Amino acid sequence: MTTRRKLVFVDDETFVLQSIVNLMDWASLGYELVGTASNGQEALAIIEETCPDVVITDICMPLMDGFELSQAIYEFDPTIKIIFISGHDKFDYAQNAIRLNIQEYLLKPITPSDIQAALARVSQNLDAQRQRALDMQEMTREYMSTIEASRRSLLISLVTEPLTLEATSHWQHRINLYQLQIPGPFYTVISLCPRQSSSPIHAVSSDMRDVLFAEELSWVSYRKTVLEVCHKYLPVEAFPFAGKLIIILSHDEPDLAATLDLLLQDIQQTFLKNYRRTLYLGISQSSSHLMDLKRLYHQALQAYDYCQSAPNTALCYYGDFSVEMESNLDYDATPDQRLLSLIKIASYPEFEDYIVSLINQSHRQSSTPSADYLFFLELTSRVIRISQNLTGIQNSSLIESFMSQMVASNQASVADLMQTFLAHSKKLLLLIQSERQTLKESLTQQGLRLMQQHYQDPLFTGKRLAQLMHVSPNYLSSLFTRETGQSFKEHLIQIRMNKAKELLLTSSAKVQEVALAVGYTDTHYFSYSTKRYFGLSPRQIREAAQEGSPTL
């Protein structure tokens, strides 16, 4: 049996009230008339007792008019629907009706058909409201939307809040509760963002709301794509945060190099094909501790910053450019991560712009000479500390000169303080650049030495060399090409061919033995390689030497 909705009718004109009540077939409309009243106060008492679904009320009534009654009803139960009846076609009445969320507004004289039509519309709205409440699909969508928001909030907390060892079990419980796909035991964090497009997809609309909505949809699409790609390789979570897509990879083995290379290549190619966009990617080191996620997140951000500053670099691993500073820097104690990033990548123009903005902001907030001086001393201390951590130099004449000149400038103007500070900062950044170049040259020489030691191994590859040097294959490949003018493969072939030629000319070893001695297991391929490199086969090389050919 269908439950009827309860209705209260209120009108100070008794004749009108009784006429309508007697003429209406309330039951056929799905309603039960539970009370009538001639004024607002009387009506409110009935409403509080019967809790109706709908109230039909006149506006102009003694003691309490329709607007006052509607306000009281709204405060008692805001779900009660109200139908206004009035003999006044005034705009301010209609405005108040809208403000009080009135469902229907009927002008006198009214007929039973007017009320019937109004109640039918109200019933339709109530039915739709009830259906939405009972719609499991809608509830599921809303529930999943709420869960997704909670999951994202938890992920952001994992990479931004300091986690203690004691609280690990608490965080692990929340990870399990929200079914995050990061079971561990090892973690790696990636920071990803498409490069700026010359014709961004958002430029089609001048409405900022449309632009923001389009950007939000873009991040939803990017996240979906990344999850689809990454799930082929590893458990993963991804979420947009602070203008980047942050990816947390979970893996079983500490060494992720081979899988990570494939995964990153897959992501880059997928974005290029689907969005016609290339990416900047910053990759952290790996850790077996959940509480290290914040540190890994900062590593990924710094690697990302390095990508943007380094020419022709789209992908960067934190370990590729860090100068063993990890143990020296306390991320919670570092007051300005932007300053750290700019010093680390040694980009002076960006550093200068940022420092000028900091100084101007500080000067506006406190323009006394002593406040400006103390601000510069604090900034100097921060820059020196970060630079020392980056270079490993604790007491150099440059650092001593920097600090002593800033200390001695206690009577200088802001302009002079800024000039002194920037001049010494520029020298420090040049020192960091020099240290980094020295590191690159050292890595290159180390790579060349290792190639001389391992060229005989048929399985020796660029990836294997990168493992021996504890850097990423991508970084090593770009470093070799930049520093030597040759790729790793070209350099390895050169070493093997020169050694092969030396053995062919100074020993009586068979061609097969020579091939094995320089890393070739297939004699035919070895012969093909010597022919391609020297223009002569192994046999022809020996014959040419016997004939005294000047080509050798």
Specify whether 286 is located in the same domain as 355: no
Co-location of 508 and 379 in the same domain? no
Domain of residue 56, CATH code: 3.40.50.2300
Residue 519: which domain range? 457-547
| Cα–Cα dist 271/225, whole Å | 8
Residue 279 shares a structural domain with residue 340: no
Q: Are residues 180 and 304 in the same domain?
A: yes
369 and 312 in a single domain? The answer is no
CA distances from 125 to 31, 58, 157 (A): 15, 22, 41
What are 246's two structure tokens? Answer: 């942050």
Domain total of the chain: 4
Same domain, 464 and 376: no
- 407, 437, 467 — which closes off a domain? 437
Residue by residue, what is the 3-state secondary structure of 7-30? EEEECCCHHHHHHHHHHCCCHHHC
In terms of domains, do 184 and 123 share one? no
Q: What is the CATH number of the domain that holds 296?
A: 3.30.70.270
Instruction: Please tell me whether residues 427 and 530 are part of one structural domain.
Output: no
Whether residues 206 and 287 fall in one domain: yes
Per-residue pLDDT of the chain (552 residues; tens, 9 = 90+): 568 899 999 998 888 888 888 889 999 999 999 999 988 888 988 998 899 999 999 988 887 888 889 888 887 887 889 999 887 665 455 555 555 567 888 888 888 899 999 999 999 988 887 776 566 666 666 666 677 888 888 899 899 888 776 677 888 888 888 889 898 889 999 999 988 654 444 444 445 455 555 667 788 889 999 999 999 889 999 999 888 999 999 998 877 777 888 888 889 888 888 888 888 899 998 888 888 899 899 889 888 887 776 666 788 888 776 543 443 344 443 445 667 667 766 667 777 887 887 777 766 655 677 777 877 888 888 788 777 766 666 556 777 778 788 878 877 888 888 888 888 888 888 877 777 666 667 778 888 889 999 999 988 888 888 888 877 777 777 778 878 888 888 999 999 999 999 999 999 899 999 999 999 998 888 998 899 899 999 999 988 888 776 666
Choose one of 409, 437, 465: the last residue of a domain. Answer: 437
49 and 123 housed in the same domain: yes
Task: Return the ∠ at Cα 352 (arms to 350 and 357), rounded to 5°.
Answer: 95
Q: Are 340 and 329 in contact (CB under 8 A)?
A: yes
Within-domain flag for 148? no
* CA 211, chain centre distance (Å): 18
**What pLDDT score was predicted for residue 430?**
81
Alpha helices (H) in 392-487, listed in sequence order: 397-407, 414-454, 462-469, 473-484
* Among 402, 437, 472, residue at a domain's last position: 437
- Alpha-carbon gap, residue 505 to 250, rounded angstroms: 53
**Residue type for position 302:** Q
In-domain check, residue 151: no
Q: What is the pLDDT of residue 199?
A: 41
Considering the domain boundaries, does residue 281 fall inside one?
A: yes
Question: Which candidate, 227, 225, 226, 203, places its Cα nearest to that of 215?
Answer: 203
CA distances 348 to 267, 329, 427, Å, are 32, 21, 10
Pairing of strands 81-86, 315-317: unpaired
CATH of the domain at 472: 1.10.10.60
- Domain contains 170: no
Note whether residue 158 is domain-resident. no
Both 350 and 303 in one domain: the answer is no
In a domain, 451, yes or no: no
Whether pTM > 0.75 for this model: the answer is: no
**Which secondary structure element, helix H or strand E, spans residue 93, and what is its range?**
helix 91-99
Residue 492 falls inside a structural domain: yes
Instruction: Please tell me whether residues 501 and 410 are part of one structural domain.
Output: no
322 domain-assigned: no
Q: How crowded is residue 350: how many other Cβ atoms within 10 Å of its Cβ?
A: 16
Residue 203 pLDDT: 43
Q: Answer yes or no: are the C-beta atoms of 92 and 114 closer than 8 Å.
A: no
